[in-house]
Chains A and B, each alone.
Chain A
Amino acid sequence: MKFGAIKNLGQSEPSVIPGFGITLGFTTFFLCAIVLIPLAALVLKAAGMDWERFVAVITSPRALASYRLSFGASLVAATVNMVFGFALAWTLVRYDFPGRKFVDAIIDMPFALPTAVSGIALTTVFAANGWIGQYLEPQGIKVAYTWIGITVALTLIGMPFVVRTVQPALQEVQRDLEDAAETLGAGRFYVFRRIIVPTVLPALLTGFTLAFARAVGEYGSVIFIAGNMPMKTEITPLLIVIRLEEFDYAGAAALGCVMLAISFVMLLAINLLQVWGRKRMMVSR
């Protein structure tokens, strides 16, 4: 049957279930229309610039300062999340305390809370007269409108990534192994270092990378608390917006390409980490 032959085109194992051609076609079409063609337009726009100008735009002192800030703050935020996210995941998996279920549920809040809301809320709390800022300011710690504030915002939006990847990994840790080690005289710290850390390490690194990747591109929650001073507290996504407002489309596209390239590298890193994690999991079983 002609129709059937067309339907199964490209399918490596023919299936009795209908709809292969139409669903694949629709998926590909939608993907191209919404994601791929627009992204290609960005790359083409940047490719339309001559090379010297492209390099000049993406290595201008203001751009370099913004990369340093975006990367530096994201790195610090992801590291803070790795430490506290692990502690949170550990607390939620291993301990029982009043309100544990509630705490577990609100971990996902930064996923659901619009970034503009977290931005103005953090600024209010960490400003010099804010609930927390008023205690930090006398110590000489300025949070709002400095890089510390940016890091705080990036920590908030990255937090669930670390907790939610470490949590299932911690549940995987084999308790009988821990007990065996302890019965054989291993100290608690030794057990932690030799059994628990190796098991959750891939998840911890994946969570770190996910949090970092999200933080590098973050815009909404940062711009309210950042102060947005060129060369000082200006993140790369904001610089793109400023270029656009100046109708410098090519400049915005060039910086957008840098951000896109970073996204691809992060995506690759995350995939590799997940493959590594699965392999380790397989070996340990």
Chain B
Amino acid sequence: MAGPSSSAEAAAELASRPGHTNLQATLVRWLLITVSLTFLGALLAAPLAAVFATAIAKGWVAYFSAFGDPDTRAAIRLTLTTAAIVVPLNTVFGITAAWCISKFEFRGKSFLITLIDLPLAVSPVVSGLVYVLLFGLNGWFGAWLQEHEISIVYALPGIVLATMFVTFPYVARELIPLMQQLGNDEEEAAITLGAGGWFTFFRVTLPRIRWGLVYGVILCNARAMGEFGAVSVVSGNIRGLTTTMPLHIEILYNEYNFVGAFAVASMLSLLAVVTLIIKTLVERSTGYRRR
């Protein structure tokens, strides 16, 4: 990212180029800025403002009482539970995969990277569908699961699995390029000097990748809490039981309970805003930037 000073210089330089009137350059410049910002305003800023405006349209009392609804509370709890299971697991996976890929040379490595990225290319609906086909009543293990009275689909395990699928690559794909770029010299030195594997990871590797890790984890968390399509397919939408916050938004919205729907939506929007703030702070303070 070019700093503001270099951009300012660039703009000044652009305006003072020979053969072109300053007026023309300035016109093009303001035209482009206006077009870009209008596009962003209509597409992003207006909807985001509408979330908060609709949520408090009937006053703050109505807004806060929306969170008193037991089903809404249950949805918030379910979302937090799901994220609390999914994010640590995918973080461990991400670190392990990144270690494996960045520290060693082996055949099929680029294929492995492609496979890890695969969930990003798959439609969320398909991500949920695969688990219904495996564990649903007519699925591969459906009969067996019913016999043993284990419910996966239309229950927490299914929601967790579907969420894991969609957030699977998030931590790994932040760490892999970062660790590849950092190289292995320091780890090799530590090991050669007699440090153990765990010691090397915690004292040598982790301090160097921590910002990338924070970055991956917060994005993974945002997606885990906000996932709609995949979870919607496996959840069965049992109100107060298997509805996460995004699914609860849909239920309230379809019941024309706009204050309720947008109140929950405003919480998720705040989560997104906080995620972006952390992400920006990480970038500003460390100069670290995703690819």
Contact = CB atoms under 8 A, between A and B. Distances in A.
Given A105-B276, A125-B50, A88 B39 contact: yes
Interface in B95-136: 96-97, 99-101, 103-107, 112, 114-119, 121-126, 129-134, 136
Contact of B10 (A12, A88, A94): A94
Contacts, number: 313
B151 interface: no
B225 interface: yes
A17 B133 contact: no
B159 interface: no
Given A15-B184, A31-B116, A237-B124, A220 B246 contact: yes
A237 B122 CA distance: 11
Nearest to B190: A17
A253 interface: yes
Contact of B123 (A120, A121, A259): A259
A105 to B, nearest CB: 5
Contact of B126 (A110, A220, A240): A240
Contacts of A24: 100, 104, 106
B226 interface: yes
Contacts of A115: 124, 226, 228-229, 246
A206 to B, nearest CB: 12
Interface residues of A, number: 102
A36 to B, nearest CB: 7
B270 to A, nearest CB: 10
B11 A35 contact: no
Contact of A97 (B33, B104, B116): B33
A119 B222 CA distance: 16
Interface in B262-276: 262, 265, 268-269, 271-273, 275-276
Nearest to B14: A94
A219 B229 contact: yes
A62 B233 CA distance: 20
B32 A31 contact: no
A270 to B, nearest CB: 8
Given A23-B96, A106-B44, A256 B165 contact: no
B71 interface: no
Interface in B18-70: 18-20, 24, 29, 32-33, 35-37, 39-40, 42-48, 50-51, 54
A114 B246 contact: yes
A202 interface: no
B126 A19 contact: no
B168 A117 contact: no
Given A42-B130, A109-B48, A116-B265, A91 B32 contact: yes
Interface of A is mostly: helix
A182 B40 CA distance: 32
Contact of A156 (B44, B130, B273): B44
Interface of A: 10-13, 15-20, 23-24, 26-28, 30-31, 34-39, 41-42, 45, 84, 87-88, 90-91, 93-97, 100-101, 103-122, 124-125, 130-132, 152, 155-156, 159, 164, 167-168, 171, 175, 179, 182-183, 185, 187-188, 213, 216-220, 224, 237-238, 240-241, 244, 247, 249, 252-253, 256, 259-260, 263-264, 266-267, 271
7 contacts: A11-B105, A16-B192, A88-B39, A112-B273, A113-B226, A116-B246, A121-B47
Interface of B: 1-2, 4, 7-8, 10-11, 14, 17-20, 24, 29, 32-33, 35-37, 39-40, 42-48, 50-51, 54, 93, 96-97, 99-101, 103-107, 112, 114-119, 121-126, 129-134, 136, 138-140, 161, 164-165, 168, 184, 187-188, 191-192, 196-197, 200, 219, 222, 225-229, 232-233, 245-247, 249-250, 253, 261-262, 265, 268-269, 271-273, 275-276, 279-280, 290-291
